């Protein structure tokens, strides 16, 4: 007798076992072999659990009936006791029906059946006989809530003994709470008499799960083996003609198919030849105890020998039966085959039962000849799976749901099952599916493999079906986690297709990363990643299949898990004005496979593939996906990222709004000099994957060192502000065959939500940094432009708009003539009004190694349209000659925006010569000067006043800035020369200065230009600068090589040089006395808002240096004209005094007369305001004072003493009045006195002073007058 063969043996062991079987018997046909075990309890402890009191049951077990003796014995705990009904006489003897119940309901557990056993005895006298032709039975009925459920008539047996003991039972398949028993016996003979005794009723429970070794119910969604007791197995191998030779499966091998030992199985062996077509293999297992409900998964764990199953014409049938009658079947090529095996050589095949069943049968009929040799069907055990709904809810942070089946005794998981899918007709198989059960097992690192030859296009796949009630709703993401193996092993492209079904019918949703094979875009990725889509219709099944197109080799795709994910809206909104990674820590994002991959033009050579695609959406900002590109091949690649919560139809429909920045964090670490991208694009995606709009950003990515994200070499963020609502973003790049990319790294998709900005400062240069302000680097206008140079680069661009004052973006412009760098900062929310100063805080080192060979610009844009260009001769402002020794100089270069704008761009272009060196951009700065928006900092321009132009808010000064467009050098080269500390010209300090260095050859001119945004000075205003006296710039009292120029809105108005300039040192002494300073300037004849000083343009014996302390304007002769656009002057009254004393020469003691004239100048802005006018003269010991308040005249003229109030308190003679003085009018004060000189001689100044601001006057520069009295002694 053969030993039972252990389950899952090695291949060699199985074949040896088969060979041993063949030695026992070689037959041309085989009859079915049956096995039936002895019924035992499910726990396999061989105990029949009596339904009695005092035992295992709770509650009181009660037996009720009439006409019975000792009926209580039926439910006591002594199983030898019994209740009885005595009888006498011939015929059929029927007892009253006994009802037993303890008030509980049984057989409600899933995959459970009960065997209800009856222990009974019947007796007769010796002369009587049992009449076997009559009715002899034990009727057992189950009831539920008083209603009959099931009933069986059991046989007493054929024993003719006077005492017949019966232990019989039947399998109850439905719930019950009561069992009723009726004993029936037929007797004949002489004076028949005896008893029918009922000892007890016992219950045996059969619950399928964990190999039949546990009494617990089968875990929801777990595939459990149907093994153990109460099973009936049979199997057969049938051959047509000779050969084949069939080795029958012996009885003990059939028992192995249904016993409790998980290490055994049944084998149906045979020897086949080329002429063995028509062979049929068949095996079945019937569960006597359990009827499985509709909706149950049913199948077999088995192995089909490699010698057959490779033909599409083979018929494989899985059949379900109930009470021996077929109720359902499935006959697809996917049921089993040598190409669909696990690593241990087995596979699980199955189907969903449409109706209830109690038997599973599997058969194979080979219509074509199998491979000659020893072949076998090895059946391990049937499997069943009960399905329970599992709530599907979205969570935050987003978590994909891994559709895993349950484990017996483990936690409940998901109601899913898996099967292979094949083309309708595949001829000779070109591939295989291995370990398909791993797709839904509980180890996330296990996988199935779909392998196929790439010599032809085939279509293999795996299906995961859910039995969830209500299916999975539209809007759910569904797909598979996969990995493509042996990439680059041949010229091959793999197309992944995911389809969706409901009730076996394909829905309209279909994910295909390749499109048609004629113009395919294939998604090849090294590493695990998801393929799938967000569905638009309900579904209950997901299928993945692959198609290959290539030349040679075998291609394998690993399928790890089936994934679904319902999407919740992110509970944390994107932070204002901050670039936010679209990662799964917050956002329900996924890779949009249909917008991801390499297209058909990219598959001509090896190694075009992605690696670690999932890193794009993981939570680690340092992780990245890598695109490996082929050398010397045209490549077109793309990556799409979608937010699954956006665009779901219904009440919560939502998209990212227009005005949101959208882009990618990418790097190009291996692009070498000259290896530029032909086409780099960022696109907006709609919820259905449609491209909504696209911007080409090639200019921002064309060099090896490009970088826009802080940290990470060659890393940058590229994108643009969305022009319409969107749900996803796509990165695309293409290159020509002659270009070598190496690899592209994609870190994440990025969005930036723009929010209102705080008001920009009007009293200082305001650093605009993210996230406080809605600024971003505009990749479209940032990068290397014009002539591409492999040595030109931009690094760490994002650092230019961070909050740090020490970090910076680094710009390198190579030596190639015509190469150009652009760096652009844009406002994503609003715009800046006209008269806003905008600039860049930069530092440079080696600009002037070859002077005059660069062109610089600041361009202003509004809504993407160029609205202003400020062209500088060089970025020379603030650059000192010490640059040639390696020093760094830092300054702000900027321009006044004369129109509204929302973006500023710095452009530097190489004209010729050596490398420009490094430019560091530390910050982006603005300052508001618009008269409306910067009203808090408004400064009035008064008449008759001198104003320094400073960058602060110094009282008595006008706010001003350095205008980049007219600051720097022009003319020929002058290596090593520059301007030091240019912003000192507008500092509030009176001691610091800027220095313009000018070469003796006169070939270059250095300039500093100061603008006062928001102000226009009228004609007649004096404009100039204060400079340190230096001997070499003065010749014969005239300036040499010095020019002062005025501008209005960037347009030159007037210019004067050398002898045409006046020294206005008497006009203003803001910075010092005329001894130390000159104030070169001129009286303008045209309005202006900017003034420039220049030195150079004339050869001299030595180099010249001009120290410039500041700029000024003076309004004492300003003459606004109607319509000239000048800022209105605030010109109040301007009072000035005139003192007359007569006589002015006095000897000894003598009287004198004095008259004070208080004049409101004709040039003033109007009459006095009625405020007090105060006039005073210091008292003196030389003279006495007489005041007549009624006097109207004296010897010097008319008087107005009556309007003046005199006070002699303190050290002064003081007069006050509130009378109004019209423009050009005067009021007079007269008094008399006596001057006493004594013996002394000399002169005495008598000073009259008008206290400021008497009468509301604006000018205090002309408020005193002095009269000198000469005196002598007698």
DSSP 268-326: EEEEE-TT-TT-EEEEEEEESS--BPTT-EEEEEEEE-TTSS--TT-EEEEEEEETTEE
* Structure confidence at residue 607 as a pLDDT band (50, 70, 90): low
Residue 1216 and residue 1206: Cα distance in Å, rounded?
Answer: 7
pLDDT at residue number 4: 34
Relative to beta strand 1183-1186, strand 728-735 is unpaired
How do residues 963-1007 score in pLDDT, each as one tens digit? 989 988 877 555 556 788 899 999 988 889 998 887 766 677 889
> What is the C-alpha separation between 803 and 773, in angstroms, rounded?
10
Structure tokens at 1267: 């009269």
Using an 8 Å Cβ cutoff, are 467 and 354 in contact? no
Q: Report whether pLDDT(37) > 60.
A: no
Q: 1029-1077, pLDDT tens digit by residue?
A: 775 455 444 567 889 999 999 999 999 998 888 877 655 555 555 567 8
pLDDT at 403: 93
| pLDDT-wise least confident of 266-280, 570-584, 922-936 | 266-280
Greater model confidence, 852 or 370: 370
Mean pLDDT over 1205-1209 rounds to 95
- Cβ pair 720, 661 in contact under 8 A: yes
Residue 407: the pLDDT is: 83
Most trustworthy range by pLDDT among 120-129, 249-258, 677-686: 120-129
Q: Among 217-221, 403-407, 706-710, 1159-1163, name the one with the lowest average pLDDT.
A: 706-710
Is 42 a residue whose pLDDT tops 70? Answer: no
**pLDDT band with cut points at 50, 70 and 90 for residue 608:** low
Rounded Cα gap, residues 263 and 1169, in angstroms: 115
Give me the pLDDT at residue 1041, please.
Answer: 80
Give the pLDDT of residue 256: 64
Q: Hey, CA dihedral for 334, 336, 338, 341, is it positive or negative?
A: positive
Quick one: fold of 5-31+230-385?
Answer: Jelly Rolls (2.60.120)
- Which architecture does CATH list for 389-426+443-566? Sandwich (2.60)
CB 216 within 8 A of CB 207: yes
CATH architecture of 757-938: Sandwich (2.60)
Give me the pLDDT at residue 272, please: 53
The model's confidence at residue 609, banded by pLDDT at 50, 70 and 90, is confident
- The mean pLDDT value for 786-802 works out to 74
**Is residue 354 pLDDT above 80, yes or no?**
yes
CB neighbours of residue 54 within 10 Å = 11
Rounded Cα distance, 728 and 722, in Å:
11
Q: For residue 263, what are the β-bridge partners?
A: none
Question: pLDDT class for 292, splitting at 50, 70, 90?
Answer: very high
Give dist(CA 532, CA 746) in Å, integer: 20
On the 0-12 / 13-18 / 19+ scale of CB atoms within 10 A, 102 is middle
**Residue 1100 confidence (pLDDT):** 62
Answer for the pair 131, 187: CB distance below 8 angstroms, yes or no: yes
Q: Is the pLDDT of residue 678 over 60?
A: no
CATH 2.60.120 fits 971-1130, yes or no: yes
Label residue 883 by pLDDT band (50, 70, 90).
very low
CA pair distance 547, 512, nearest whole angstrom: 11
pLDDT of 543-598, one tens digit each? 998 876 554 456 788 999 999 999 887 767 778 888 889 988 888 898 888 888 87
**Higher pLDDT pick, 1262 / 367:** 1262
Res 741 pLDDT > 80: no
- Structure tokens that stand for 462 in this block: 């795996």
3-class secondary-structure state, position 60: coil
Measured in degrees and rounded to the nearest 5, phi and psi for residue 22 equal: -65, -30
Q: Count how many residues are written for the chain.
A: 1274
Question: What's the confidence (pLDDT) of residue 516?
Answer: 40
Residue 740 has pLDDT above 80, yes or no: no
User: Contact at 8 Å (CB) between 425 and 400?
Assistant: no
CA atoms within 13 A on the CB side of 1037: 1
**517 backbone dihedrals φ, ψ, rounded to 5°:** -65, -20
Q: Does 411 have pLDDT greater than 70?
A: yes
- Which one is predicted more confidently, 766 or 789? 766
Question: What pLDDT is recorded for position 915?
Answer: 58
The pair of three-digit structure tokens given for residue 476, joined into one six-digit string = 């759910």
The predicted-structure confidence for 646-672, as pLDDT tens digits, reads as follows 887 765 678 999 999 999 998 877 654
Give the pLDDT of residue 517.
38
CB atoms within 10 A of CB 10: 11
pLDDT value of residue 375? 64
What are the backbone angles phi and psi of residue 659, rounded to the nearest 5°? 95, -5
158 vs 457: which has the higher pLDDT: 158
Is 530:591 a contact under the CB 8 Å cutoff? yes
Judge: domain 1131-1272, CATH 2.60.40.1510: yes
Quote the mean pLDDT of the chain: 80
Sign of the torsion formed by the C-alpha atoms of 557, 563, 568 and 572:
negative
Find all residues with CB under 8 Å of 678, minimum gap 6, and list them: 698, 734, 735, 736, 739
Q: Is pLDDT larger for residue 605 or for residue 1150? A: 1150
Per-residue confidence (pLDDT) for residue 712, from 0 to 100: 42
Q: What is the pLDDT of residue 137?
A: 96
Lowest mean pLDDT among 736-740, 859-863, 882-886, 1234-1238: 882-886
| Closest listed residue to residue 876, CA positions, set 889, 887, 886 | 889
pLDDT digits (tens, 9 = 90+) for 1116-1151: 888 899 899 999 888 888 899 999 999 999 988 999
916 pLDDT tier (thresholds 50, 70, 90): low
List where CATH 2.60.40.1510 sits in the chain: 1131-1272
Report yes or no: 1051 and 1020 within 8 Å, Cβ to Cβ: no
Q: Which fold has domain 49-207?
A: Jelly Rolls (2.60.120)
CA-wise closest residue to 795 among 817, 814, 811, 781: 811
Q: From CA 773, how far away is CA 755, in angstroms rounded?
A: 8
Give percent of the chain with pLDDT exceeding 70: 75
* CA-CA-CA-CA torsion sign (161, 167, 170, 172): positive
Residues 1174-1198: tens digit of each pLDDT? 999 999 999 998 999 999 999 999 9
Coil, strand or helix: which one is 881?
Answer: helix
Q: What's the pLDDT at 662? A: 93
Q: Which residue has the higher pLDDT, 490 or 636?
A: 636
Q: Which of 658-667, 779-788, 1169-1178, 1265-1274 has the lowest mean pLDDT?
A: 779-788
Cα distance between residue 21 and residue 29, in whole Å? 15
Which pLDDT value is given to residue 314? 67
The mean-pLDDT minimum among 99-108, 207-216, 515-524, 928-937 falls in 515-524
pLDDT at 303: 77
Residue 860: band (very low, low, confident or very high) from pLDDT cuts 50, 70, 90:
very high
Nearest alpha carbon to residue 948 among 827, 1114, 835:
1114
What is the reported pLDDT for 40? 34
- Reported as type and span, the H/E element at residue 253 is helix 251-255
Residue 856: predicted pLDDT? 83
Of residues 914 and 661, which shows the higher confidence score?
661
Residues 1232 and 1248: beta-carbon distance below 8 Å: no
Cβ 889 vs Cβ 843: under 8 Å: yes
According to CATH, the topology of domain 569-753 is Jelly Rolls (2.60.120)
Q: Where in the sequence of the chain do the CATH 2.60.120.260 domains occur?
A: 569-753, 757-938
Enumerate the β-bridge partners of residue 420: 462
Report pLDDT for 675: 44
**By percentage, how much of the chain surpasses pLDDT 90?**
42
Over residues 123-147, mean pLDDT: 94
Sign of the CA dihedral running 97, 98, 103, 107: negative
């Amino acid at each position: 007798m053969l030993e039972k063969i252990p389950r899952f043996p090695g291949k060699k062991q199985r074949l040896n076992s088969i060979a041993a079987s063949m030695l026992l018997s070689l037959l041309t046909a085989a009859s079915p072999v049956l096995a039936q075990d002895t019924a035992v309890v499910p726990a396999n402890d061989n105990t029949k659990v009596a339904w009695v009191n005092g035992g295992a049951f709770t509650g009181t077990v009660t037996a009720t009936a009439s006409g019975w003796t000792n009926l209580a014995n039926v439910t006591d705990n002594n199983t030898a006791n019994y209740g009885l009904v005595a009888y006498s006489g011939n015929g059929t003897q029927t007892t009253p029906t006994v009802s037993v119940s303890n008030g509980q309901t049984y057989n409600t557990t899933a995959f459970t059946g009960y065997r209800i056993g009856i222990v009974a005895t019947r007796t007769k006298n010796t002369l009587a006989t049992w009449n076997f032709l009559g009715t002899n039975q034990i009727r057992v009925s189950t009831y539920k809530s008083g209603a009959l459920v099931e009933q069986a008539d059991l046989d007493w047996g054929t024993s003719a003994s006077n005492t017949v003991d019966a232990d019989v039972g039947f399998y109850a398949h439905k719930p019950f709470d009561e069992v009723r028993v009726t004993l029936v016996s037929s007797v004949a003979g002489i004076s028949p008499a005896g008893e029918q005794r009922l000892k007890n009723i016992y219950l045996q429970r059969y619950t399928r799960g964990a190999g039949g070794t546990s009494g617990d119910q089968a875990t929801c969604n777990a595939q459990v083996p149907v093994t153990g007791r109460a099973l009936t197995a049979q199997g057969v191998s049938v051959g047509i003609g000779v050969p084949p030779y069939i080795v029958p499966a012996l009885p003990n091998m059939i028992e192995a198919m249904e016993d409790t030992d998980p290490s055994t199985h049944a084998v149906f062996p045979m020897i086949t030849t080329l002429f063995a077509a028509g062979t049929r293999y068949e095996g079945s297992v019937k569960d006597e105890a359990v009827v499985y409900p509709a909706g149950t998964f049913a199948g077999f764990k088995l192995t089909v020998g490699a010698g057959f199953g490779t033909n599409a014409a083979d018929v494989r049938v899985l059949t379900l039966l109930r009470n021996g009658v077929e109720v359902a079947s499935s006959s697809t090529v996917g049921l089993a085959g040598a190409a669909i095996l696990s690593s241990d050589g087995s596979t699980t095949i199955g189907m969903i039962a449409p109706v209830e069943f109690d038997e599973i049968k599997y058969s194979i009929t080979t219509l074509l000849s199998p491979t000659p040799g020893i072949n076998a069907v090895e059946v391990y055990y049937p499997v069943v799976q009960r399905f329970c709904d599992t709530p599907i809810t979205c969570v935050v942070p987003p978590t994909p749901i891994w559709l895993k089946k349950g484990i017996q005794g483990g936690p409940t998981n998901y109601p899913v099952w898996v099967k292979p899918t094949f083309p309708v007709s595949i001829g000779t198989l070109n591939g295989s599916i291995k370990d398909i059960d791993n797709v839904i097992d509980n180890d996330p690192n296990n996988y199935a493999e779909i392998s196929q030859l790439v010599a032809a296009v085939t279509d293999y796949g795996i299906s995961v079906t859910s039995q969830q009630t209500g299916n999975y709703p539209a809007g759910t993401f569904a797909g598979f986690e996969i990995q493509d193996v042996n990439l680059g092993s041949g010229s091959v492209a793999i197309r992944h297709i995911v389809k969706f079904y409901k009730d076996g019918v394909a829905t309209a949703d279909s994910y295909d990363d390749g499109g048609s094979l004629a113009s395919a875009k294939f998604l090849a990725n090294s590493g695990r990643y998801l393929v799938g889509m967000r569905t638009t219709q309900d579904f209950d099944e997901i299928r993945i299949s692959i198609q290959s197109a290539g030349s040679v080799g075998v291609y394998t795709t690993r399928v790890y898990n089936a994934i679904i994910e319902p999407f919740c809206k992110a509970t944390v909104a994107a932070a204002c004005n901050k670039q936010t990674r679209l990662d799964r820590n917050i956002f329900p994002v996924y890779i949009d496979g249909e917008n991801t991959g390499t297209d058909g033009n990219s598959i001509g050579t090896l190694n075009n593939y992605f690696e670690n695609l999932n890193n794009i959406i993981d939570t680690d900002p340092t992780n990245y996906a890598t695109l490996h590109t082929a050398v010397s091949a045209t490549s077109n690649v793309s990556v799409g990222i979608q937010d699954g919560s956006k665009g779901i139809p219904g009440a919560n429909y939502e998209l990212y709004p227009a005005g949101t920045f959208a882009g990618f964090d990418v790097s190009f670490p291996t692009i070498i000099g000259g290896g530029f991208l032909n086409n780099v694009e960022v696109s907006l995606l709609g919820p259905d994957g449609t491209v909504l709009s696209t911007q080409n950003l090639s200019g921002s990515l064309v060099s090896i060192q490009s970088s826009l994200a802080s940290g990470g070499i060659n890393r940058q963020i590229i994108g643009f502000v969305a022009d319409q609502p969107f749900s996803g973003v796509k990165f695309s790049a293409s290159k020509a065959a002659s270009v070598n990319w190496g690899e592209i790294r994609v870190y994440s998709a990025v969005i930036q939500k723009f929010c209102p900005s705080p008001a920009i400062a009007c009293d200082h240069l305001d650093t605009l940094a993210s996230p406080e302000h809605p600024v971003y680097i505009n990749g479209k206008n940032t990068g290397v432009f014009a002539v591409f140079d492999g040595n030109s680069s931009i690094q760490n661009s994002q650092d230019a708009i961070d909050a740090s004052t020490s970090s910076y973006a680094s710009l390198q412009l190579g030596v190639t003539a015509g190469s150009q760098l652009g760096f652009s900062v844009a406002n994503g929310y609003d715009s800046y009004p006209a008269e806003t100063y905008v600039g860049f805080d930069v530092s440079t080192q080696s600009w002037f190694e070859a002077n005059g060979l660069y062109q610089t610009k600041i361009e202003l844009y509004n809504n993407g349209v160029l609205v202003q260009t400020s062209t500088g001769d060089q970025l020379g402002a603030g650059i000192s000659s010490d640059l040639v020794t390696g020093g760094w100089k830092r300054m702000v270069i900027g321009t006044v925006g004369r129109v509204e704008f929302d973006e500023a761009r710095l452009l530097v272009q190489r004209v010729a010569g050596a490398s420009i060196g490094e430019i560091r951009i530390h910050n982006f700065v603005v300052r508001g000067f618009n008269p409306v928006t910067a009203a808090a900092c408004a400064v009035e321009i008064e008449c008759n006043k001198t104003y320094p132009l400073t960058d602060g808010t110094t009282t008595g000064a006008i706010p001003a800035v350095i205008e980049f467009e007219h600051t720097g050098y022009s003319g020929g080269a002058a290596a090593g020369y520059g301007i030091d500390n240019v912003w000192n010209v507008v500092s509030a300090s009176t001691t610091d200065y800027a220095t313009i260095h000018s070469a003796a050859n006169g070939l270059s001119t250095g300039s500093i230009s100061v603008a006062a945004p928001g102000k226009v000075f009228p004609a007649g205003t004096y404009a100039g600068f204060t400079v340190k006296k230096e001997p070499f710039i003065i010749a014969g009292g005239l300036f040499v090589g010095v020019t002062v120029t005025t501008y209005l809105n960037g347009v030159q108005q007037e210019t004067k040089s050398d002898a045409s300039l006046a020294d206005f040192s008497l006009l203003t002494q803001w910075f010092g006395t005329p001894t130390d300073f000159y104030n070169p300037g001129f009286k303008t004849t045209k309005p202006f808002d900017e003034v420039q000083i220049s030195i150079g343009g004339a050869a001299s014996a030595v180099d010249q240096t001009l120290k410039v302390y500041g700029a000024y304007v003076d309004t004492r002769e300003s003459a606004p004209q109607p319509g000239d656009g000048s800022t209105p002057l605030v010109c109040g009254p301007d009072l000035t005094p005139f003192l007359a004393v007569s006589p002015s020469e006095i000897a000894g003691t003598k009287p004198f007369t004095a008259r004070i004239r208080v004049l409101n100048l004709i040039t003033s802005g109007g009459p006095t305001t009625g405020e007090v006018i105060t006039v005073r003269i210091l008292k003196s010991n030389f003279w006495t004072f007489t005041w007549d308040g009624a006097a109207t005249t004296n010897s010097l003229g008319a008087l107005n003493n009556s309007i003046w109030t005199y006070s002699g308190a303190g050290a002064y003679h003081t007069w006050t009045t509130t009378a109004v003085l019209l423009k050009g009018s005067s009021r007079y004060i007269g008094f008399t006195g006596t001057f006493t000189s004594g013996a002394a001689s000399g002169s005495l100044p008598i000073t009259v002073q008008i206290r400021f601001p008497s009468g509301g006057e604006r000018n205090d520069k002309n408020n005193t007058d002095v009269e000198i009295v000469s005196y002598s002694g007698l």
